[in-house]
Amino acid sequence: MMRIEAIIQPSRFESVKEALHQIGVEGMTVSEVRGHGRQKGHTETYRGREYEVDLLPKIKIEMVLPYNLVDGAVQTILKTARTGKIGDGKIFLSKVDEAIRIRDEERGEGAL
């Protein structure tokens, strides 16, 4: 099993979610997060004063998938989240040794 963490732009979330459902990804955890990479933020004006916005809103999608769905999920995220501009996000992959469903204590891929 693999854990996929994708940090994407909020405007791309609905299309990414829909595309993942179409390829058979059933479960995910979604968080609203803030951060920056090379973008470094920007300056905004509020009531005549300028201030620096250095942590930009992003969406973090987390899912644990069996190996047979990982490549498809990664390609789907890449295809649907990409705008071609700085700030499109990142995808992180890590191995998961075990998953346990709390309700019935089922383990492994069956717990997903």
pLDDT in tens, 6-23: 999 999 999 999 999 999
Residue type, 63: M
- For residue range 95-109, what is the model confidence (pLDDT) as tens digits? 999 999 999 999 999
CATH code for the domain in which residue 46 is found: 3.30.70.120
Q: Write the CB contacts of 95 (distance below 8 Å, at least 6 apart in sequence).
A: 1, 2, 3
In tens digits, the chain (112 residues) has pLDDT values of 999 999 999 999 999 999 999 999 989 999 999 987 776 666 667 778 776 777 889 999 999 999 999 999 999 999 999 999 888 999 999 999 999 999 999 999 999 9
The tokens 């047979």 sit on which residue? Answer: 68
Residues spanned by the domain of 19: 2-111
- What's the total number of domains in the chain? 1
Q: What is the 3-state secondary structure (H, E, C) of the chain?
A: CEEEEEEECHHHHHHHHHHHHHCCCCCCEEEEEEECCCCCCEEEEECCEEEEECCEEEEEEEEEECHHHHHHHHHHHHHHHCCCCCCCEEEEEEECCCCECCCCCCEHHHHC
